[in-house]
Chains A and B, each alone.
Chain A
Amino acid sequence: MSEKVEKDRTGTIIREEDSSEKMAVEMNEVKTTGDFDAPVYIYYNWCKKCGICVAFCPTKCLARKADGSPYVKNPEKCIHCETCDRLCPDFAITGAKDKKEVPYGSQ
Chain B
Amino acid sequence: MGKVSQRVVHNFLRHDKKFPHVWCAGCSNGTVLGTIIRAIAEQNLDRNNITMVSGIGCSSRMPVYIDLNTLHSLHGRAIAFATGIKTYKPGMKVIVVTGDGDCTAIGGNHLIHAARRNLDLTVIVINNNIYGMTGGQYSPTTPFEAKATTSPFGNFDTPFDICDLAIGAGATFVGRSTAFHTIELQKMIVDAMEHKGFSIIDVVSACPVIYGRMNKKGGPAEMMMAMRDNSILNTAAEKLPPEKVEGKIIRGILKKVDHPEYCERYAELCTKVKEMQHE
Q: Spell out A's residues near B (CB within 8 Å).
A: 45-52, 54-56, 82, 85-94, 96, 98-99, 101-106
Contact = CB atoms under 8 A, between A and B. Distances in A.
Contact of B30 (A88, A103, A106): A88
Given A50-B25, A55-B225, A89 B31 contact: yes
A32 B268 CA distance: 59
Q: Which 5 A-B pairs have the closest CB atoms?
A: A89-B30, A50-B26, A55-B221, A48-B25, A94-B6
20 contacts: A51-B26, A51-B220, A52-B221, A54-B221, A55-B224, A55-B225, A86-B182, A87-B182, A88-B31, A88-B34, A89-B23, A89-B28, A89-B31, A91-B6, A98-B5, A101-B7, A103-B10, A103-B11, A106-B17, A106-B18
Given A51-B219, A52-B220, A96 B7 contact: yes
Contacts of A49: 25
A89 B6 contact: no
Interface of B: 3, 5-7, 9-11, 13, 15-21, 23-31, 34-35, 38, 180, 182-183, 208, 219-221, 224-225
Given A45-B19, A90-B30, 15 more contacts: A48-B24, A49-B25, A50-B221, A51-B219, A56-B221, A56-B224, A82-B5, A85-B9, A85-B34, A87-B31, A88-B31, A89-B28, A91-B13, A94-B7, A96-B7
Nearest to B16: A106
A86 B35 contact: yes
B9 A52 contact: no
B19 A93 contact: no
Contacts of B24: 48
Nearest to A95: B6
Given A51-B221, A102-B6, A103-B10, A89 B27 contact: yes
A105 B17 CA distance: 10
Contacts of A87: 31, 180, 182, 224
Contacts of B31: 86-89
A52 B30 CA distance: 12
